[in-house]
Structure 1
């Protein structure tokens, strides 16, 4: 480390799917991507009930929560999960993002990202979007720009 520079500690990140999503390859990809960026990742796995997501996030106290969807129900389930997370005072300000296949009709619904942001998400990364956009978000969070 260069003299005079302070190295920021790694982010503690929770990566998960939602209750109806049984896919895991997306979680492995996200975990590896985040670890490559130098962060610690807790991967909750597939088909995670809302209550377990909330309980684990309360226990871990992450710096970032990443919800991933492959089955196309991310929008509906994401609205429910963000409501449960934001209902907990200790998780109200935890940066939380959602991404993947958020609807069964693809990513051509321009109102969907705005609705998810209005519901409490800090970032929405739909399928077909750039992985670099997600990396940029994480780097900004880590540098304190989004805090």
Structure 2
């Protein structure tokens, strides 16, 4: 396993509110845990309010949103705007990836719109998946804490 102790990050993993898919969450959880990170998973169809409340409660080092149903561009933009508007958690790094639109490959246009809305990175079908490891590695070190989630 990669990164332990000082390099271990807390990652909040979720879908958008309209997405009921779970296989993507299982894969991402396994990938992130294999990289040595703590994963807090919310599961599918997560309402925006629950997602924001969980970000406030857990204070993750990174929020990862996965979407398969094609509504990532719309639902993702809505949730990231709400996160960035919250003065307590507005600075939490956030990434989104998966199927971002229902009209096929919306690629660069959808990615740009989501970055403009507030995401730090957007993963499409052609994105370099090693980027998530680099993002996590570049985050500031978290002070040791005794809290559990």
Q: TM-score, normalized by length of structure 2?
A: 0.85
Secondary structure in 1 matching 2:78: helix
Evaluate the alpha carbon distance shift between residue 24 and residue 104 of structure 1 in structure 2; reply closer, same or farther with a 3 A threshold.
same
Per-residue CA deviation, residues 11-33 of structure 1 (Å, 9 max, x unaligned), is: 11100001110001111111111
Runs (4+) of structure 1 exceeding 4 A deviation are none
The separation in 2 between residues aligned to 1:126 and 1:90, in whole angstroms, is 29
Per-residue deviation at 1:140?
Answer: 2.8
The separation in 2 between residues aligned to 1:60 and 1:49, in whole angstroms, is 16
Q: 2:114 aligns with which of 116, 121, 137?
A: 116
Per-residue deviation at 1:136?
Answer: 2.7
Per-residue deviation at 1:93?
Answer: 0.6
8 Å Cα contact 2:7/2:137 also seen in 1: no
Per-residue deviation at 1:143?
Answer: 7.1
Secondary structure in 2 matching 1:129: coil
Per-residue CA deviation, residues 91-121 of structure 1 (Å, 9 max, x unaligned), is: 1110000000011123344222111111110
Contiguous gaps of at least 5 residues in structure 1: 1-6
User: Aligned-pair RMSD on alpha carbons?
Assistant: 1.8
Contiguous gaps of at least 5 residues in structure 2: 143-149
Q: 2:25 aligns with which of 14, 24, 27?
A: 27
Per-residue deviation at 1:128?
Answer: 3.6
Q: TM-score, normalized by length of structure 1?
A: 0.86
User: For this pair of structures, how many residues does the alignment match?
Assistant: 138
